Structure 1
Amino acid sequence: MSEKVTLGKLSTGVPGLDVLLGGGLTEFSFTLIAGAPGSGKTTLAHQIMFALANPERRALFFTVLGEPPLKMLRYQQQFSFFDMDKVGTSIRYVNLADDLRAGDFSGVLERIMREVEDFSPGLVFVDSFRSVVQTARSGNQGLWDLQHFIQELGSRMAMWQATTFLIGEYTQADVEANPIITVADGMVALSHNLHEDVVVRKIRVIKMRGQAHMAGSHTMRISDDGIRIYPRLLAGVPGAYSAIERDPRRIPTGVAGLDELLHGGLPQGHTILATGPTGIGKTILGTHFLSAGAERGEHGIAMYFEKHTARLHNAALIEMARAGKVSVIEPRSLALTVEELLDELAETIERTGATRVVIDSLSEIGLYLAPEFRHDLRLTVFRTLALLAGRGVSVLVTAGFEDNQPDMRFSFDNLCFLADAVLAMRFAEVEGRLCKFMTVVKVRGSAHSNELRAYRITDAGIEVEDRAVPYDRMLTGWPTPRPPRK
Structure 2
Amino acid sequence: MKTQSPIKALATGVPGLDEVLGGGIPEFSFNLIAGDPGSGKTTLAHQIMFALATPERPVLYLTVLGEPPLKMLRYQQQFDFFQSDAIGQSIHFINLSDEVLSNDLDHVLDRIVLEVEKYNPSLVFVDSFRSVAQVGTLTDGSSNNLQRFIQQLGMLMTSWQATTFLIGEYSIESEANPVFTVADGMICLHQSVQRNSMVRKVEIRKMRGHPSLPGLHTFRISAAGVKVFAPARALTLAGDVERQLLQPRALMGVPGLDEMMGGGLPRGYSLLVAGPSGSGKSILAGAFLAEGARCGEAGVIAAFEQPPQRSRDRVLAGLIAGGQVGVVDSRAADLSIDEVVGLLLSEVRRLDAKRVVIDSLSGFEMALAPTFRADFRENLARMVAALASVGVTVLMTSELEDRYTDLRFSPYGTAFMTDAIIVQRYMEVESRLLRMLAVVKVRASDHSNELREYSIDADGLRIGEMLTGLEGLLGGRPSDATRLRELDD
Whether these two folds match at TM > 0.5 is yes
Q: Which residue does 1:92 correspond to in 2? A: 92
- Residue 432 of structure 2 corresponds to residue 433 of structure 1: yes
- Percent identity for Structure 1 against Structure 2: 48
**Contact 1:280/1:425 (8 A) holds in 2:** yes
1:38 partner SS: coil
Amino acid at match of 1:102: S
- Residue 164 of structure 2 corresponds to residue 168 of structure 1: no
Q: Which residue does 1:47 correspond to in 2? A: 47
Q: Which residue does 2:445 correspond to in 1? A: 446
**Aligned residues, how many?**
474
Q: Which residue does 1:127 correspond to in 2? A: 127
Of residues 384-393 and 142-151 in structure 1, the stretch that sits farther from structure 2 once superposed is: 142-151
CA distance in 2, matches of 1:213, 1:50: 23
Amino acid at match of 1:10: L
Q: Which residue does 2:30 correspond to in 1? A: 30
Q: What's the CA shift string for 1:405-457, capped at 9, x where partnerless? A: 34222222222111111111111111121111111110001001111111111
CA distance in 2, matches of 1:127, 1:239: 49
CA drift of 1:242 comes to 4.5
CA distance in 2, matches of 1:259, 1:245: 18
Length-normalised TM-score, structure 2 = 0.92
Distance 1:239 1:124, change over 3 A: farther
1:111 partner SS: helix
Amino acid at match of 1:277: P
Q: Which residue does 2:107 correspond to in 1? A: 107
CA distance in 1, matches of 2:196, 2:27: 40
Q: Which residue does 1:484 correspond to in 2? A: none
CA drift of 1:97 comes to 0.4
**Contact 1:334/1:367 (8 A) holds in 2:** no
Q: Equivalent residues in 2 for 1:388-399 (5 A)?
A: 388-399=387-398
Amino acid at match of 1:343: G
Q: Which residue does 1:158 correspond to in 2? A: 158
CA distance in 2, matches of 1:311, 1:28: 52
Of residues 429-438 and 129-138 in structure 1, the stretch that sits farther from structure 2 once superposed is: 129-138
* Structure 1 stretches of at least 4 aligned residues deviating more than 6 Å after TM superposition: 472-476
**Contact 2:310/2:317 (8 A) holds in 1:** no
2:187 partner SS: strand
Amino acid at match of 2:17: L
Distance 1:89 1:237, change over 3 A: farther
Q: Which residue does 1:384 correspond to in 2? A: 383
CA distance in 2, matches of 1:462, 1:88: 65
CA distance in 1, matches of 2:408, 2:142: 69
Q: Equivalent residues in 2 for 1:201-212 (5 A)?
A: 201-212=200-211
CA distance in 2, matches of 1:382, 1:37: 35
**Contact 2:244/2:267 (8 A) holds in 1:** no
Length-normalised TM-score, structure 1 = 0.93
Distance 1:240 1:382, change over 3 A: farther
Amino acid at match of 2:41: K
2:136 partner SS: coil
Q: What's the CA shift string for 1:218-237, capped at 9, x where partnerless? A: 11111111111112343545
Q: Equivalent residues in 2 for 1:59-70 (5 A)?
A: 59-65=59-65, 67-70=67-70
CA drift of 1:339 comes to 0.9
1:336 partner SS: coil
CA distance in 2, matches of 1:386, 1:208: 28
**Contact 1:222/1:228 (8 A) holds in 2:** yes
Gap regions ≥5 residues in structure 1? 477-486
Q: Over aligned residue pairs, what C-alpha RMSD do you find?
A: 2.1
1:439 partner SS: strand
Distance 1:167 1:472, change over 3 A: closer
Q: Which residue does 1:461 correspond to in 2? A: 460
**Contact 1:431/1:475 (8 A) holds in 2:** no
CA distance in 2, matches of 1:251, 1:19: 33
Q: What's the CA shift string for 1:238-268, capped at 9, x where partnerless? A: 5675444454422210011111111221112
- Residue 74 of structure 2 corresponds to residue 71 of structure 1: no
Q: Which residue does 1:419 correspond to in 2? A: 418
CA distance in 1, matches of 2:297, 2:124: 50
Q: Which residue does 2:340 correspond to in 1? A: 341
- Residue 319 of structure 2 corresponds to residue 320 of structure 1: yes
**Contact 2:221/2:227 (8 A) holds in 1:** yes
CA drift of 1:92 comes to 0.2
1:156 partner SS: helix
Amino acid at match of 1:220: F
Amino acid at match of 1:103: N
Distance 1:26 1:403, change over 3 A: same
CA distance in 1, matches of 2:448, 2:242: 27
**Contact 1:274/1:398 (8 A) holds in 2:** yes
**Contact 1:69/1:95 (8 A) holds in 2:** yes
Amino acid at match of 1:198: S
Q: Which residue does 1:479 correspond to in 2? A: none
Distance 1:238 1:117, change over 3 A: farther
**Contact 2:104/2:139 (8 A) holds in 1:** no
